[in-house]
Amino acid sequence: MISRVSDEERRSIMGLTEQLKDVLYDCGADLVGIGDISKVENSDFNVGIAVAVSLPKRVIIDLRIAPTKEYYDLYYSLNSKLNDIVTAGENYLLSLGYEAYAQTTDRVKINQDRATAIPHKTVATRAGLGWIGKNCLLVTSQYGPAVRISSLLTNAPLECNKAIDDSRCGECRVCVEHCPARALKGTLWNTGVQREDIVNVEECYKKQNEIMYEHTGIEKDLCGKCFAMCVYVQKHCT
């Protein structure tokens, strides 16, 4: 996004990028990535900003056995935190005269296929934050898939990271083998692979509801086993 510009324009773009990152980090983001989304389906914006917050290690360790009430509460509190982070980014960019749209939970609509128009995971891979694992979750090198993510869309001239187009999971099948629903297909992701090639979505959601209710009495499609067992998460937790 910063090619073919003068040195002065380049400095301005890099300055704006760093200032925006500071806003997002100050609000509690653990990871921030910026990517070119001009070719992403359904996008009316050129730039996507992905943010991630990590899960506490104690919660991850418990999830290796079963979902917990603490994880359920954390799921919503982290979503709220992410809403605040991307909204702060939106307000900052709007105050400078740029278009910006925070993809908060109250704005993003989930369709009948359990999908959204511009998935946070798509923005995150375009922003170089991580890749899609065999568990169909964003995998970051720092925390593995033990993160909650959100995104912010804009037309502001920002310095973009290099996108990640291929999986880095290699031959690992830990998440596949530990999936209670046997819903994961072991497919290595790249940008041409569809979600349905990686996971049986309906079987996944069905089993998540069963397990969550069995262990907490709460009706919610949350499990966490596939990311809690990930080798990247294991490294993070040691």
pLDDT digits (tens, 9 = 90+) for 11-69: 999 999 999 999 999 999 999 999 999 999 999 999 999 999 999 999 999 999 999 99
What pLDDT score does 8 carry? Answer: 86
DSSP codes joined into one string, 165-201: -B---TT--HHHHH-TT--B--PPPBTT--HHHHB-H
Give the separation between CA 33 and CA 220, rounded to whole angstroms: 30
Decide: helix, strand or coil at residue 212. Answer: helix
With a cut of 80, say whether residue 4 has pLDDT above it.
no
What is the pTM (predicted TM-score) of this model?
Answer: 0.94
Q: pLDDT-based confidence at 78, cuts 50/70/90?
A: very high
- Average pLDDT (134-155) is 98
Q: pLDDT-based confidence at 188, cuts 50/70/90?
A: very high
Q: pLDDT-based confidence at 2, cuts 50/70/90?
A: very low
Give pLDDT tens digits for 193-236.
999 999 999 999 999 999 999 999 999 999 999 999 999 999 99
- Average pLDDT (128-150) is 98
What pLDDT score does 5 carry? Answer: 74
**Residues of the chain above pLDDT 70, percent:** 98
The one-letter amino acid code at 148 reads: R
φ, ψ of residue 32 to 5 degrees: the values are -135, 130
User: Would you say 128 and 49 are in contact if contact means Cβ atoms under 8 Å apart?
Assistant: no
What pLDDT score does 77 carry? Answer: 98
User: Would you say 136 and 144 are in contact if contact means Cβ atoms under 8 Å apart?
Assistant: no
**Mean per-residue pLDDT of the chain:** 96
Dihedral angle at the C-alpha atoms of 197, 190, 18, 159, nearest 10 degrees? -130
Decide: helix, strand or coil at residue 53. Answer: strand
The one-letter amino acid code at 139 reads: V
With a cut of 90, say whether residue 3 has pLDDT above it.
no
